Structure 1
Amino acid sequence: MTSEDSPALPRLLTAGPDLLAAALVVLPALNDPRPAVLVVGAALLVCVVAGFLKRRRSLLAAVGVLWVTLLAFTPGAVWFAFPFYFLLLRDLPRRTAVAAVAATGLVAVAGFGWHQHVLTVGTVLGPLLGAAVAVATVVVHRESQRRAELTEELAAAERAAGVLAERERLAREVHDTLAQGLSSIHLLLSAALRGDTERHVRAARAAAADALAEARRFVKDQNPPALDGGSLPSALHLACASTAATADLAVHCRVTGDEVALPTTHQVALLRIAQSALGNVVSHAGATEVRLTLSYQDTDVTLDIVDNGRGITGAGAGGTDPDPAPGQDRGYGIAAMRARARALAGDLVVESDGRGTAIAVTLPVPVA
């Protein structure tokens, strides 16, 4: 990773090494003002400044050659190795940089020996420990930077997942409420055009009022109106009565078992699944009768919707997604119902044999 890949590197890895390198080029010239030292030091200073401005890796080679040349003239140049470590680690690929840092440390040790004609523990360990510290500093920084990037990516993925989940939830709500209400109004107005206008118009008006109430609840993120102050069985009876009133269809609603207090999430899911299934029967099944049964059991609650319509082409037992008949919604209603059930650790099964369709959804009863 180079500085161009990450413009937000801390100051230690940007301007700091360049400024320190420039200072340590000037220092030997002040202590040893021989012409050769001044010329080589000036050339080295120009390369350091150019490297800071251009950030070209080719300049590092020139800096290295000029530094070794300056080190041959004056021992004060040995201190240039420490900022040079960071320049190499900043501007070269990791493996190449580590090898270059190791070579620089050995050259610095050799420079000490060349000028002092003896090597001590300090002159050997000093440059090598400096190289190790530089490598460790950069490795730790890059690791922390990588973790920060991963954290940002994870946060972005979570936000995207949240947006998709909310979009799916909105789609289910619109499909199960507003879309079903508008479909009922359309059927009623179509029937009104064929005769018995007043009765169907009144029914369409009632369906529009229900759809408006659902829309307002939807905007305010409240419970369905049918569940406000009522129970799930009464809400299902109301949904069946509304369906029977808006369609030429016999709708039977039955509740078995001892009623169990379910969480609001479970009641809303079962009511929405019932409304969606009844809407599909009215719009697509061509049925004359539909039976809805809510069964309370010890550990779960089951909702069955069975009609005697034309069935769903390609639907099979075991909960496989059906292949809707031509002209039908391509199974989104079934998919939305199954998503509601699975969100509550439940399951939904669709069975159809051409003589009708049976939908069964089972939700576990949460332990009090």
Structure 2
Amino acid sequence: MSAVAEPERDDTRALTTVMHTAFFVLLSASVARYLARHADGPHTPWVIALSVLLAVLYVLGPAVGTRPAPRRLGWLGLVVAAWALLVVLAPSFAWCAVPLFYTGLRTLPPRAAIPLVALLTALAVAAQLGLAGWPDPNVLLAPPAVAAVATTVFVVMQRQAARRDALIDDLVRTRRELAATERREGTLAERERLAREIHDTLAQGLSSQRMLLQAADRLWETAPGTARGHVRTAAAIAERSLAEARRFVHDLTPADLAGGGGLLRALHAVAERETTPALTVRVHAEGSPPDPLPAPVESALLRIAQGALANVREHAAATTATLTLTCLDDQIVLDVTDDGRGFDPRAPAPPTSPTP
């Protein structure tokens, strides 16, 4: 919408500049013509004073705005009154009516502007007839024809602009509604997909575990071997269900990123949440991450930080942990350090107890 409105504002500004320039050119020419012929006339001081007053009033026009507010209407009335007095004293000032047509049409609605244009035209015709001394057909017909053409062109252009603005508003509203509908449909589709996947994987796995554990409970005294087999099968199903749950969680956007603000803000939120009286978590950033990062990258980095801090809290017995996000030209590095006891990676892993 802004791309369409900008040329329209430029066209209006250009037309306004042309009309203002034409007004002052016609006013100056009328003053020069009057002084050349009536320099010593009795009305000369009044003509000069009214010309200066009309010019000053016209210059003050932008200061009172363009909407038909009381101040703008009062200004327009003063301009028309000053011009009418000038036309009565010096009919040559009638040519200044053409820029005043534009001023009236811009200020007033068409129902009020058209009668004003007709009044200005009548004053101009009367003044020119008095100057000519006889009913010159050119004087009688030319000013009304010019006024009619100018008014018709302006009103038609104004209506076309109004229709175009209405169409643009409808288009923008329709695009917003379409975007909102697409978002809602996307959300519903994602919910349905997750519901199907949960039903086909986690829900089925939980149902199978429940049945196996119930069977194991019934057979525990009479057939312990079979019961243990049911328990091991249930454990295997639970392991697969846990893997599916982790996959779902990995695919979803983390809550700390869903609210906006980017990765760095999400890391600060995680650090604040993980900080306890026994553990202080800090965040340090080197460089500025590109905005925005791809959503999978932000999610992966945040999940890594959350998992690493969980390990620090549970196993490291640390008092301080630091998340360092380093942004290079073509890569982003996340370092998680702590002052805990750590472990020797070369040492053999402790034996694990067999699954019953």
| Contact 1:82 1:127 survives alignment (8 Å) | no
Flag the 1:128–1:174 CA change in 2: closer, same or farther, 3 A.
same
Q: Which residues of structure 1 form unaligned runs of 5+?
A: 1-5, 220-368
Matches within 5 A, 1:34-183: 34-55=44-65, 56-183=72-199
Flag the 1:176–1:114 CA change in 2: closer, same or farther, 3 A.
same
- CA drift of 1:218 comes to 12
SS at match of 1:14: helix
Give the equivalent residue in structure 2 for 1:185.
202
Give the equivalent residue in structure 2 for 1:20.
22
| Contact 1:29 1:38 survives alignment (8 Å) | yes
Bigger helix fraction: 2
Q: What is the distance in 2 between the residues matched to 1:31 and 1:142?
A: 35
| Contact 1:22 1:48 survives alignment (8 Å) | no
Q: What is the distance in 1 between the residues matched to 2:51 and 2:126?
A: 19
Query: Identity across aligned pairs (percent)?
Result: 23
- CA drift of 1:204 comes to 5.8
**2:20 alignment partner AA:** D
- CA drift of 1:163 comes to 1.3
| Contact 2:209 2:237 survives alignment (8 Å) | no
Q: What is the distance in 2 between the residues matched to 1:48 and 1:15?
A: 13
- CA drift of 1:74 comes to 1.4
TM-score, structure 2 normalization = 0.52
Flag the 1:172–1:209 CA change in 2: closer, same or farther, 3 A.
farther
| Contact 1:112 1:119 survives alignment (8 Å) | no
| Contact 1:18 1:49 survives alignment (8 Å) | no
Q: What is the distance in 1 between the residues matched to 2:178 and 2:238?
A: 37
Q: What is the distance in 2 between the residues matched to 1:167 and 1:70?
A: 65
Q: What is the distance in 1 between the residues matched to 2:171 and 2:92?
A: 50
Flag the 1:154–1:211 CA change in 2: closer, same or farther, 3 A.
farther
SS at match of 2:60: helix
CA deviation profile, 1:257-300 (whole Å, cap 9, x unmatched): xxxxxxxxxxxxxxxxxxxxxxxxxxxxxxxxxxxxxxxxxxxx
Aligned residue-pair number:
214
**1:188 alignment partner AA:** G
Q: What is the distance in 1 between the residues matched to 2:115 and 2:96?
A: 17
Q: What is the distance in 2 between the residues matched to 1:117 and 1:43?
A: 29
Flag the 1:158–1:172 CA change in 2: closer, same or farther, 3 A.
same
Structure with higher Rg: it is 2
- CA drift of 1:49 comes to 0.8
Instruction: Report the more deviating stretch, 34-43 or 84-93.
Output: 34-43
CA deviation profile, 1:67-101 (whole Å, cap 9, x unmatched): 11111121210101111100100111221111101
**1:19 alignment partner AA:** T
The answer on 1:11 being equivalent to 2:21 is no
**1:92 alignment partner AA:** L
Q: What is the distance in 2 between the residues matched to 1:169 and 1:117?
A: 79
| Contact 1:177 1:214 survives alignment (8 Å) | no
**1:192 alignment partner AA:** Q
**1:172 alignment partner AA:** L
Q: What is the distance in 1 between the residues matched to 2:231 and 2:187?
A: 33
Q: Which residues of structure 2 form unaligned runs of 5+?
A: 1-7, 36-43, 66-71, 214-229, 254-356
Flag the 1:169–1:208 CA change in 2: closer, same or farther, 3 A.
farther
Flag the 1:164–1:211 CA change in 2: closer, same or farther, 3 A.
farther
- CA drift of 1:60 comes to 1.0
SS at match of 2:134: coil
